[in-house]
Amino acid sequence: MSEYLMNFGIKDLIDILCVVLLLFYFYRLMKRTGSLNMFIGILVFLLVWIVVSHLLKMRLMGVLMNKLVDVGVLAIIILFADDIRHFFHDLGGTKTTRRIFKWLTRRRREGEGDDRRWLPLVNACVNMGHKKQGALIVVDENDELQDLKLKGEEINADLNQQLIETIFFKNSPLHDGAMIITGDKIETAASILPISQSESLPKNFGLRHRAAMGISERTNVVAVVVSEETGVITAFHKGSFQSELDYISLKNYLAEHVR
């Protein structure tokens, strides 16, 4: 024991913390899914097994419990099949995991020098501007708007120029509210955004502009507005805006500010 303590290092501490965090996560998951008593029972059995087999070194009980542990691994997989599925679903759905994945895909795109993914959005905004078709589009690259997405209408479609223009067609049931884009996906439409009370906005800016300013003041997103009255394209980021954007300037704005 003393030899183990002398060799105890930072790696061992991290190892223990990882195990504790994993057990705590499983505890919360089992509590949520109603399997908490079974989970506690398994932990108690494992503690008894460690004491009997490794600390007290009771041979007969140790052999018996070792066999039960060998069979128990398969039994646990069968008994907790749904909980294991929930675990991996939640793991893939955490904000940290999504951000890591999006960062890796963004680095890959930057390494390839590929800015073509903005073309459907830019082309749609320019076309809607020519037709004076109002639109409010939020580019949420870091997936910060989960609560707002849940309240919008789920789309979950690839970024597509025709789909963007169809959604914001005046008679479309989804044309009011904001479209939220994350990565290469149109995730939701008709999402309600917070309204800015800023007095720095021009008087001719309408509700879409105030909503775009409001969300840009609170998060690190880029919001693009196409004016229904003038067709002018305006982009918002971190509480500031740039207006009178055309094809080139809008594409450059997105490339510069979406991080």
Per-residue pLDDT of the chain (259 residues; tens, 9 = 90+): 455 556 667 877 787 788 778 777 766 666 655 566 766 777 787 788 788 777 777 777 777 777 777 776 677 667 666 666 666 665 655 555 555 555 555 555 554 444 677 899 999 999 999 999 999 999 998 888 888 888 899 999 999 999 999 999 988 899 999 999 998 899 999 999 999 998 889 999 999 999 999 999 999 999 999 999 999 999 999 999 999 999 999 999 999 998 6
Burial of residue 131 (number of CB atoms within 10 Å: 0-12, 13-18, 19+):
middle
pTM over 0.75: no
Evaluate whether 184 touches 105 at the Cβ level (below 8 Å): no
Distances (CA, A) of 59 to 54, 68, 187: 10, 14, 59
What single string gives the DSSP state of each residue in 86-115? HHHHHHHHSHHHHHHHHHHHHHHHHHHT--
Q: What is the pLDDT of residue 112?
A: 42
Q: What is the pLDDT of residue 87?
A: 62
Q: Where in the chain is the domain with CATH 3.40.1700.10?
A: 116-257
Evaluate whether 157 touches 189 at the Cβ level (below 8 Å): no
Cα gap 215→222, rounded to integer Å: 9
Domain range 116-257, its CATH number among 3.40.1700.10, 1.10.1060.10, 3.40.190.10, 3.40.50.720: 3.40.1700.10
Evaluate whether 68 touches 52 at the Cβ level (below 8 Å): no
Cα gap 218→237, rounded to integer Å: 10
Contact residues for 99 (Cβ-Cβ < 8 A; gap 6+): 142, 143
